[in-house]
Every structure is written in structure tokens, then in C-alpha cells.
Amino acid sequence: MRFVLFPLLTAVGLLTLIWPAVPARAADGAAAAERPTVADFSLETLDGKRVKLSDYAGKAVLVSFWATWCKPCKQELPFLDAFAKKYAEQGLVVLAINTDGPRTMSAVRRFVKRKKLAIPQLLDKDGSLLQALNPRGVMPFTLYLDRQHRIAETADSFSAGDEVKIEAKIQTLLAEK
Amino acid sequence: MGTRTPAAALLGALGLSLVAPAAFAGPVRMTNSTTAQYRLHTFTDDARRGEEVPYGLLLDRLNLVAAADGFSSAVRVDGMLFVDPPALAEADGEFRDDARVERFTAGYGLELGGGDLKLTVGDFYRQLGRGILLSLRKEDEIGVDIAVRGGQAQWLGETVDVAGFVGRTNPVNLDNVSEKFVADPGDIVAGGEVKVRDVGPMQVGLHTVYLDVQTLPTGRDGWMLGAGGSVEVPDLADIGSLYLEADWQRSSRVIDVLGKLSEDVTDGLAVYGVAELYFDPLGLVVEGILLDCLDAEQDGLHRVRCIGLDGSENSALQSPFVYNQPPTLERIDQEVLNSRDVLGGRARIDYAAFDGDATLYANGMLRLTDRESEGEVTQLHVYGGVDLYYAEGSSRLSASGGWRDERLTGIDTERQLKTMAHGEGDVLHAFDGWSLALSTLNEYRTLFTIDGEKTNLRGSTLVGVEFGHDAGWMRSFADQLALTFELGYDDDDSKAGSRSVYYAGIVDWTLDSRLRVRALAGTQRGGLKCVGGVCRIYPEFAGARLDLITTLDL
């Protein structure tokens, strides 16, 4: 069996090296049409409302997964909150998807309150949306969705200075028609 | 699984990745993680304790996700291949080559009756309330990811949600922590949930679950029927919030008493509540939980689970699957004594300054387990700390420390079991184009046994530098680069032949959003690690590891 499996797994590994060598698609209209679409989702918010992705039709949406045990996430969220305010009139929406489980759930509201975050806090209590959009389950993880809610880009970490990159990506996203 | 089946499954998945774009009439997102390891296995059984044997491992996880016109679909294929794996004793589980479609989900959503109807077939996750009766969540970073394989229907309205589901429990078969094979238990789970919002300021929920365990570790079967309700006030007069949940369950196990089979029926009750109050700049959180056996005739040590039910045996861990996850009141990285029979409460007060950029906090918890039995343990834990964000949020600092005391306070018995002092620190300081990271956690434990006291110092410290792509010299070859040195220590000498000091170097290199490479070489301390609120004991690591993570749109 190893003689069959090993080459197969190695091939998959090599694919991971070869594919990125292909030039990234330009963010023009044709390339945008090739982007994968995100299926509409519906989650409850921290304040007891129900929010759907399709509620934000025609808007560019940042979907950011976070948890209270993730320190980079907690550092990133205030920046995302500030960008949501700054670019709201240009059609930007940021949805924070909290993935805390029962053990840490009681810390979510406290953090949101303390940091005075205004972006909608959607609760992915069992990780269903995490599985659909972020199957590796890494955090922080942000999807940049264009106005048709197709995935334009993703980012799976946050380090000091990344807020500059995030804002540049937002500006590029909003510049698309 | 036959010898050809893994290869066939992997071939099928690769084929699927090629035809999927056409099948879905739209682009498919592919995320692939390939991990190659050369590592040492350290035997822990008496015969070979401390002996180290090298082996190789190749692990691949392929995820395909697509959506179009209300349909959504996802497939995950896992493959694991060992090179010269050590032969383990039967009780230690099994390193096994395997490849399989680990998760597949097909969903369809449509608007119906003023809400959204969502139908799901395949693998899905499900939690009821705060997870006291049922919590099957995505937790694959720590290898205990369990889904339900079956069907689910949800109707999600503006003010009412209704859901029903049925299926068999489906754990990830390749445990990425122990790297051992996990057989499917096939336990049956069915349940439903109704939630009504806007009942005045409240949300009211009702839920029920039935669990049928195929094979309990005793070799007998069992079942559990549970029901519960919750009330939540998200906004309590603009000064806080409130959540209350109560659950009841009846469970049955067939047990062997002196050669005779008999049914042991247990009723359990759970009550959980958390209240948050804010009077700026002060905040207060009060949380309490009761997990109780209603049956007064429990055995002396209350070894029966009163809430939740042990599932079939996990073949990798040699312990039962756990399908519920009640709140514990504990710190996230704290070993939890048990969640069978619990009475406890905790309070946390914090003080916020500098517009929320600085928070000082203190936390106290008192928790009793296996109450009113010979095995009752009283746990007291106090800790406090500070979280600080500075330099306009680009840098952060947190520090915390505390004290824990555990005492056996059972019937006619009182003696100290354990004390623990702990300290943690985390700093990320940003400079121009790069940042310095320091993270440390340390525990000093004293265990009290009938043979005397035994102390143990253990912990890990990581020091690293992170470069962003605005560091001019790396613009051409990386989006982000992090170099980390990890030092671990554990002077517990009860494991003969084990290390007491550990060193590892870690490189994390993000070329762009499509490729990330992570490499690790050296030794890492084993022990309890917590991710996402769930903790497991990790084995020690010695060797080298390379992870390639690719995300592509096909």
C-alpha cells in the first residue's frame, strides 16, 4: 500500500509547491468571475439578532473568525472595527465570527464591551461556519468578499503592522465595481 | 480498511478535485495541508520505558468547498502514511496508514415562510445550549473533532429557529495529536432545538437529545435521553446580560454485577448561569454551575457520569468519547478535574483604563467535584493579571499569575492533594517593519501523597521575531516571516528516561495568501495544551516537522 500511497501524498505535497508558482490572478472583472462564491449563511449575534450574509447584498464584506483565547485576534479586531467605520459609506461591512466554545463563551461579551466594538458579533457556537469557510480552523482568519460575496482574498494571521496591509486590501476591494 | 481502500479514497479525492469545478458549475476553493515528520517515539510502557525509536510520517488534509445557487458542498480527505512506525502494545493504540473521505457535506438553503430553510446531509456539527447535554464542535486542531454524519433540517426565522437532526457520531479518524488511528464508534445521536427571540428582552430556548451508545468500555450498551431549556437576556437594562440554563437527563447502562447483567438507570440535573454587569470602568462576571446526580443511591465515589454520557471507547486514547462539554469555570489552560458531579462558582472583577486599552482583573473560583462521597475534592483558584495594548494597538502585553489549592474533602477525610503557583506573560512589541515576541507560562506544583511531598516545575518560554512584508529586504520572497525559539522544561522525574529540558526552533514563512510553510526542529515538551477551550495531553515531540499549507481556487 505504501508504494501507492506515498507517491500520491507526495504528489499532493508537490502540488502545493507548484501551484503557487502560477501568477496570482489580477483583480480585474474576468478574474473576479473565477472567484469561489460563499454560500449564504445565517448566525445569531451576541445581542440576540439573526444576521445573514445576504443582508449585505452589494457590499464588500470582511468575515473575520476569532476567539477570546486568540491574542492576535483580539489585537486585530479593534483595527477591523475602525476600518468598518471608516469605509462604511463606501460599502464595507465587517462581520466578526466568534468561535468560542462553552468553556470560554462567558468571556466574549466582556471583551467586546471593553473594546467598544461596534461590528456585528456573530456566534458560530458549534463551528459549522468555521468548517465551511475556514476548514483548517486557524485563527485569526479573515475572508475578503467582494460585492458579489465571492472570495477575493484570505489572511490567516495577524502581526504588528498588518493593519496597513489590511487597509490596502480593503481599498483594493472597494475599488472593484 | 483493506490495503487498497486508502489509496482508492485518495485517488478519488484527487479526481474529485479535478472534476469538482465542472460539477459545481463554479470555482472550487481548495485548501491543502501537507505535513512531513521525522520523529522519535518514546516508549512509556514498563518493558521499554524511555527507549526512543525513529519513524516517519506524511499527513495530508485536502479540503474542497464550493457553493452556487443555494447549494453548498464540502469534502475533506485525510491521508496518513507512516514510514517504519514502531509497533505499539495493544493498549497504546495503533499507528496505521489510512486515507479516507473524512467529511462530506451537502447543503441546500431556500427562503420559506418568512425564514430560511436549510437542509444538510452528510457531516455537520451540533451544540445544544452551552454544551451541557451535547457539544459536537469543530475542534480539529487538537484532534478531538467529532461531527454527526446524518441529516439536519433547520428553519431560521426572524424571531424563531427550529432544528432537528439525526445521525451517527463521526470522529476524525486520524488523530493529529496522538497520530493514532481512531475507529468510528457509530453511536447514534438525535435531537432538536427551538429558540424564540424577542420574548420581551429575553430569548427562550428548548432542546432535547437522545444518544445511543453502541459499546460502552464495559462492553455493554447504554443510552441517554436529555432535555433542557435556557433563558438569555442579552441586554439587561443597559448594564449587563444574563444567561440561565437547566437540563435534565436520564441515562441507562447495562452493568455486570457479580456475573448478572442489570440495568443501571441514573437521573441527572444541571443548572448553569452567568451574569455580567458593567459600571464603567468596573465590570463583574458571576458564573455558577451544578451538575448533579438526582439518584441518591450512587456508588461511593460517584464514578457514574450524571450529565452527559460516556460514548463508545476511543481506540486511540483508550478512554470513552465525550459528547458534551459543560462550562468548567476554569482558566482555559487549566486541567479540569472532572465534569461528572460538580458544584462551583466563580467571580471576576475587572477595571478598564485608557479607553479599554488596559484592563486589570482578579478572578476567584471555588469548585467541588464528586460531592458528598469519599472522593470529594474542593478546588480553590485565585488569579489576577493585566492586559495592555499600546503604541496605537500595534503592541500588546499581558501578564498574569495565581494560586490553586486542591483538597480531598470527602466523607471522613480531609487532606491536601495539590497546590500550584503559576505565572504567564505575553509580549508583542512592534518596531519598524518587525516585532519581538515573548511568551512564557510556568507552573510550580506540589503534590501531596501518602509518601510525602513532591514538587514539579514545568513550563515553556518562546522568544521570536516577526517580519512583515513592509520590511524592505523581504518584499520579494515573503509576505510574513517568523522565527521562534522555544525552551521547555519539566523536572518531573517520575517518567524514567524522559527529558527535562526541551529546545526547538520554529520557522513560519508565509509567501502569500496561497502558501504558508512551517518548519520545526528539536524537542517540545509534552503535557496539557488547550486550544479553543478544550484541552488534551500532548505527547512529547522530538524530531523535525514540515508543514505546507496551500489555498487555491480551482
Please list the rounded mean pLDDT of every run of 10 residues in chain B (554 residues).
49 51 63 87 75 87 86 89 84 82 91 89 95 87 80 93 96 82 90 93 96 72 92 90 96 76 84 94 95 65 67 80 89 80 94 90 95 89 96 93 94 88 94 89 91 90 83 67 91 70 90 83 76 57 88 75
Q: Is A30 on the interface with B (CB under 8 A)?
A: no
Flag if A135 and B470 touch (Cβ within 8 Å).
no
The residue type of B117 is L
Closest Cα partner for B120 from A97, A41, A145? A41
Q: Work out the pLDDT band at A29, boundaries 50, 70, 90.
A: very low
Q: Is A90 on the interface with B (CB under 8 A)?
A: no
Closest Cα partner for B97 from B12, B17, B9, B187? B9
Asked if residues B203 and B197 have their Cβ atoms less than 8 Å apart, the reply is yes
Mean pLDDT for chain A?
A: 84
Comparison of pLDDT for B178 and A86, the residue scoring more: A86
The three-class DSSP label of residue B514 is coil
In Å, what is the CA distance from A142 to each residue of A62, A95, B99, B440?
7, 10, 30, 27
Number of helical H runs and strand E runs in chain B = 1, 30
Cα–Cα distance, B236 to B276 (Å, whole number): 9
- A-B contacts (CB, under 8 Å): 266
Within 8 A by CB and 6+ apart from B100, the residues are B1, B5, B6, B9, B77, B78, B79, B173
What does the pLDDT read at residue B436? 93
Domain A25-175: CATH superfamily, name plus number? Glutaredoxin (3.40.30.10)
Q: Which three cell numbers stand for residue B98?
A: 489510512
What does the pLDDT read at residue B1? 41
Q: Is A21 on the interface with B (CB under 8 A)?
A: no
Residues of chain A neighbouring B353 (CB-CB closer than 8 A): none
Closest Cα partner for B381 from B458, B446, B329, B455? B329
Flag if A109 and B241 touch (Cβ within 8 Å).
yes
Comparison of pLDDT for B438 and A22, the residue scoring more: B438
Flag if A39 and B109 touch (Cβ within 8 Å).
yes
Of A49, A114, A160, the CB nearest to B359: A114
What does the pLDDT read at residue B284? 95
Closest Cα partner for B419 from B442, B444, B440? B444
What does the pLDDT read at residue B104? 92
Closest Cα partner for B98 from B34, B204, B183? B183
Asked if residues B168 and B150 have their Cβ atoms less than 8 Å apart, the reply is yes
What does the pLDDT read at residue B22? 46
Q: For residues B517-544, b (16+ Cβ closer than 10 Å) or e, as one string?
A: bbebebbbbbbebbbbbbbbebbbbbbe
In Å, what is the CA distance from B452 to each residue of A107, B417, B422?
39, 11, 22
Between β-strands A121-123 and A92-98, what pairing exists: parallel, antiparallel or unpaired? parallel
What does the pLDDT read at residue A103? 82
The residue type of B330 is E
What does the pLDDT read at residue B529? 59
Smallest CA–CA separation between B469 and chain A, in Å? 9
Asked if residues B226 and B133 have their Cβ atoms less than 8 Å apart, the reply is yes
Residues of chain B neighbouring A106 (CB-CB closer than 8 A): 274, 276, 285, 287, 327
Cα–Cα distance, A40 to A46 (Å, whole number): 19
Comparison of pLDDT for B387 and A71, the residue scoring more: B387
> φ and ψ at B533, to 5 degrees?
85, 5
Closest Cα partner for A96 from A114, A113, A110, A84? A84
Of B6, B139, B285, the CB nearest to A5: B6
> What is the CB neighbour count within 10 angstroms for residue B507?
15
Of A79, A113, A126, the CB nearest to B137: A126
What does the pLDDT read at residue A26? 39
Flag if B60 and A114 touch (Cβ within 8 Å).
no
The residue type of B249 is Q
Dihedral (C-alpha) B524, B525, B528, B532: value to the nearest 10 degrees?
A: -20
pTM over 0.95: no
The residue type of B58 is L
Our CA angle for B77, B537, B362, nearest 5°, is: 115
